[in-house]
Chain A
Amino acid sequence: MFKATLKSLLSRKLRLVLSALAVVLGVMFVSGSFVLTDTLQRSFTDLFSSAYANVDVSVTPKAEKGKQPEPLTPQAITDVKSVTGVASAVGDVQGSARPIGKNGKVITTSGSPRFGFNWTGTGQEKIRDGKAPATENEVAVGGYLATTGGFKVGDDIALLTLEPKKTFKITGIYEYAGGRDSLGGELSVAFTEPVAQQLLLGKKDVFSGITVTASQGTTDDALRDAVAAKLGSGYDVKTGAVLAKEQADQINEGLKFFNYVLLGFAGIALFVGIFIILNTFSIIVAQRTRELALLRSMGASRGQVIGSVVLEALVIGLIASIVGLGAGIGIGALLAKIFSSLGGSSLELASIGAPMSAIISSFAVGMIVTVVAAVMPALRASRIAPVAAMREAATPDRPLTKITITGALVAAAGGTSLAFGFNQASLPLIFGGILVAFVGVALLTPILSKPMVSLIGRLLSWSMPGLLGRRNSARNPRRTAITAAALMVGISLITGVSVVLTSATKSIEKLASGQLQTDLIISGEGQMEGQPATFRRDVLTRVEKTDGVRSAVGWSQDGVLEGENQMFAVGVTDLPAMATMFALKPKSGTIAPLKDDQLALPEEMAAEKGWSVGSKVTLQLAKGEPKTYTVGFIWVKSQVLQGALVLPESASANFRSDQIAQAFVQVAPGVSAADVQKRVEPLFADNPEITVQDRSAFVKQTTSQFDTVLLMIQILLALAILIAVLGVINTLALSVIERTRELGLLRAIGMRRAQVMRMITVESVVISVFGAVLGLAVGLALGIATVQALKDQGISEIGLPWMTMVQYLVVAAFVGVIAAILPAIRAARLNVLDAIAYE
């Protein structure tokens, strides 16, 4: 039996390859994810240990709860120096510094930090060209910044720090051990110490930390304990090794999430793969009916027949896993390489390796998926009566009642789980529900395939080959259905996401046109990262005084502590103006300028906290002592400023930064916003991180991020769709084999090769478009359900991405044409006589 299976397997190399390919791709994605994240993790670990190579012990000020840490004083350095075992203690100054390129734009990185520090000469940085900065308008820049920005020694460089744009002369370019431009793609610049203190920490004679080295014979741990004992409780004292590990862990935590996302998409791809393998095995078993029946009539038991099919699956799964693992290591290495050179950053890659997790998951996933997919066809194979060997191998049309009822039940179960999931905001329930619903819909597909395929086919069957193609696709509803369902999964997920994003865009647009009564919006880069660029208060005053401006409101923002709860707060310059611009309606209290001890908040937040006008609320701001505010104004639930506490302008002084993060301008009646924009923009000439936009540009900018999200998801789902396309190819190829004799007949009575190819292509396009239509329908349902569930999160409108959906349909038709190429060529090349005589 075992030998017979292997023989039959080897005699069908093409089938072997086709059915294994889906598994290979899925496994490749899984192992590739693991290899990529593993490589990156080890690279980052290496990066941080080299970043802290010079640090034996580091001292930083400890922050009190909810408060900004006070910078260190020179006294602390003196204290550390006096500890026995300390070889050196150097004060570090570090803070955000964004360089402006020669084109006047701020130079950005893909996630790596941009910072400035004090040149001490004791760090890892070694001057490569020129010399260290010595005067207050001199700086040295890192090699990476020099190459990115095209800076040379002697050039001028403009920098944004706590202060607006300031220009410096570059006196030197520094590098790291081994001649590296940067440790990990960061952009850094070194000032003289007093300048660094002023620009980066905002104060003279303060430090952000102390780097301590141990003298001979003192261990890092002992040194840490000694320094900690000397300084007392106000400081965090850590060894360099611990710091390196902490930072690497933090990055690796993010990478882990990244890995989960990749694995999620790999899961989707494999899920689609199951459909394909299931279909392949079904077809193969159908075609092997005679062979299996012959085995049965020779006395093979049902178990042996099941065993033979499952064995075939195991062999395919094993081979596919090995190939997939290999390909995954390659892809992972390639992606790591791309990642490390992203945006020119120079993350030194650790050696590529296959972590145990990649190997185990590859084999587990590859084998399990294949065997699971093969079990159903195996069971069916075992039921083939031995007499079938005598009969024609034609597969009778089995009724679809059972599969349809099962499908309806499964789909309902999936829908229920989805509904519960949304209700309780439980991701496992949601994703589980979606998967189960997919299986349900897939089971319902055969019954749908008859009317749908004939409908779609009618559009394509104006000629005889077209008609034949259409009839062929309607021939085996299950086969067509599963093939189409595989395509459905990918397309419905993209459509669903697209519906949600379109709805979000539409909601934002509606909000902007309805509730945002502002003409200009002034905001800094990085609103989304939570650390927006800011500008000085006096600039806002100048905006207010600009010709044509009716009113201008701005706020600074920060997190504040209410008891144990972290809350988001803004310190607003003018509450009544803000209420007008955002069309806030009073729920209780009156719209009046906030007194220094008053605050305002939205209705839903007040309800959650149980506060009403007159309630006393004690808040700890980043600076100063806790302060008690009285609720003065509660506004009716609105889409803007959700979840924000509005504090008086005076509170800003105790924020981490009292600068304005966002401002809004209303122009005087009869004045054009564009004119005012032209007059306001020059006020921010020295601050390229701040943009002045009109309302529509602002909306566009806000919603443009959705396009990026959609693109990412499309790229990640491309694999699932690719596998589905393989499925179409597979089904067609196997059908061509199955219908060899018919093809021979058609050619014998005069069908041209081109017509044969057209026939196969129509069949392929019908299947693909059917899958796409299913996907669009399911995707719409999923998307709308999600939008409904997100109503409270501010997605109030349902927007349907018609254009995108039409595109997917066109792509599906195109995919159908592509998928048909190989099977069509094969069919057209058949030798007529051989084909007629084919058994």
Chain B
Amino acid sequence: MSASDGVAARAVDVWKSYGSGDAAVTALAGVSVDLDKSRFTAIMGPSGSGKSTLMHCLAGLDDVTSGEVWVGDTLVTGLKDRGLTELRRDKVGFIFQQFNLLPTLTAEENITLPLAIGGKKVDRAWFDVVVDTVGLRDRLTHRPTQLSGGQQQRVACARALVSRPDVVFADEPTGNLDSQSGAEVLGFLQRSAREFGQTIVMVTHDPNAASYADRVIFLKDGHIVRELLSPSAEEVLDTMKHLDSVVAVPHV
């Protein structure tokens, strides 16, 4: 089995539990999901529902207890450290909530870091497009400490995109930003999906942020319980409110 055409990443009956015995916590209980190419997908759900865990498993940052994870044509499950490292370097982009940048490098160096680590040449034309899209042209020589939080997150976005990964994963990328900077970052993610065909998966708590996405998946207690397509912020909020009454469905 492989991720068929049109699917950038796929989870097949993924289970993930932490610890063992009485203290065991099941973070993911049989999650299956296809993440379509060129789509901006948001993952939502209450705290502790397993959003981050799902993302980490999809991105090869964490291993699954059972089930299979695919990124592009690569079966992630079972890869050793070296394979996982190369997957993260070449096929996946990351945007974390904070601490995305190395303080010793300039914005430009941070953006091209994955390429430099992989010993690849920077595609200048693409780099220029990305930099202009995030609007950082005049900040390229600055160090992270000289940038605002929003600018830092935009640098992180640019870095995630510059190597043209199969999927960009973002875990609450706007969690630390004010609404103005958050909107900039989200607008940028939306554009990169629409204009550049970049697949993006974002974990968020914010219904407003989720409304930028093409598709919103709702998690509860390690199950996918609902999904919405191109919802408005109100729809998302509404769904969240009623999530408690929703009975978990094994597959959507």
Contacts and interface: CB of A to CB of B under 8 A. Distances in A.
Interface in A457-482: 463-465, 467-468, 471-472, 474-475
A293 B206 CA distance: 33
A752 B80 CA distance: 12
B159 interface: yes
B105 interface: yes
B113 interface: yes
B81 A749 contact: no
Most chain B beta-carbon contacts within 10 A, residue among A465, A472, A475, A747? A747
B88 interface: yes
Most chain A beta-carbon contacts within 10 A, residue among B56, B88, B89, B104? B104
Interface string B3-35: 000000000000000000000000000000000
Nearest to B118: A750
A750 B99 contact: no
Contacts of B88: 747-750
B148 to A, nearest CB: 15
A749 B104 contact: no
A741 B101 CA distance: 10
A750 B117 contact: yes
B114 A750 contact: yes
B104 A471 contact: yes
Indicate the size class of the contact surface on chain B: 20 to 34
A750 B85 contact: yes
Contacts of B81: 753
B174 to A, nearest CB: 18
B61 A464 contact: no
B40 interface: no
Nearest to B87: A750
B82 interface: yes
B62 to A, nearest CB: 6
A741 B103 CA distance: 11
Contact of B117 (A464, A742, A753): A464
A755 B93 CA distance: 19
Contacts of B104: 468, 471-472, 474-475
Given A749-B113, A752-B85, A742 B56 contact: no
B79 interface: no
B94 interface: yes
Contact of B85 (A464, A472, A741, A753): A753
A746 to B, nearest CB: 7
B116 interface: yes
Most chain B beta-carbon contacts within 10 A, residue among A394, A741, A751? A751
A755 B119 CA distance: 11
B90 interface: yes
Given A475-B104, A836-B99, A747 B85 contact: yes
Contacts of B118: 750
Given A749-B114, A750-B114, A742 B85 contact: no
Interface string B91-116: 01110100111111100000001101
A106 interface: no
B102 A746 contact: yes
B128 interface: no
Contacts of A750: 85-90, 92, 114, 117-118
Contacts of A516: none
Interface in B115-131: 116-119
Interface string A705-749: 000000000000000000000000000000000000110011111
Most chain B beta-carbon contacts within 10 A, residue among A468, A474, A750, A753? A750
Contact of A755 (B56, B62, B117, B159): B117
Nearest to A751: B117
Interface in B164-179: none
Contacts of B102: 468, 742, 745-746
Interface string B221-237: 00000000000000000
Contacts of B96: 745, 748, 836
A832 B103 CA distance: 18
A463 B103 CA distance: 18
A833 interface: yes
Contacts of A463: 119
Nearest to A828: B81
B61 A749 contact: no
Contacts of B113: 464, 746, 749
Interface in B49-89: 56, 61-62, 81-82, 85-89
Contacts of B89: 749-752
Contacts of A471: 104-105
B116 A833 contact: no
B227 to A, nearest CB: 26
Nearest to B91: A750
A457 to B, nearest CB: 11
A23 to B, nearest CB: 32
A464 B116 contact: yes
Contact of A749 (B105, B117, B119, B145): B117
Contacts of A742: 99, 102-103
Contact of B82 (A475, A741, A752, A833): A752
A751 B85 contact: yes
Interface string A745-779: 11111111101000000000000000000000000
A463 B115 CA distance: 12
Contacts of B116: 464, 467
Contacts of A394: 145
Contacts of A748: 61, 88, 94, 96
A475 B104 CA distance: 7
A129 B59 CA distance: 87
Most chain B beta-carbon contacts within 10 A, residue among A741, A745, A749? A749
A741 B114 contact: no
A392 to B, nearest CB: 10
Nearest to A750: B89
A752 B118 CA distance: 9
A475 B102 CA distance: 12
A309 B100 CA distance: 33
Interface string A149-180: 00000000000000000000000000000000
Contacts of A472: 104
B159 A749 contact: yes
Interface in A795-839: 832-833, 836
A745 B152 CA distance: 14
Nearest to A464: B116
A801 to B, nearest CB: 37
Interface in A300-315: none
Contacts of B87: 750
B145 to A, nearest CB: 8
A464 B105 CA distance: 11
A475 B94 CA distance: 25
Nearest to A470: B104
A735 to B, nearest CB: 12
Contacts of A749: 88-89, 93-94, 113-114, 117, 159
B12 to A, nearest CB: 22
Nearest to A742: B102
Contacts of A752: 82, 85-86, 89, 117
A485 to B, nearest CB: 22
Interface in A187-224: none
B85 A833 contact: no
Contact of A832 (B61, B86, B92, B119): B61
Given A747-B85, A749-B89, A753-B81, A833 B114 contact: no
B91 to A, nearest CB: 9
A473 to B, nearest CB: 10
7 contacts: A468-B102, A745-B99, A745-B101, A745-B102, A750-B86, A753-B81, A836-B96
Given A752-B85, A755-B117, 6 more contacts: A475-B104, A748-B61, A749-B89, A749-B94, A750-B86, A832-B61
Interface of A: 394, 463-465, 467-468, 471-472, 474-475, 741-742, 745-753, 755, 832-833, 836
Top 7 closest pairs, chain A to chain B, by CB:
A750-B89, A471-B104, A464-B116, A750-B88, A751-B117, A749-B114, A752-B85
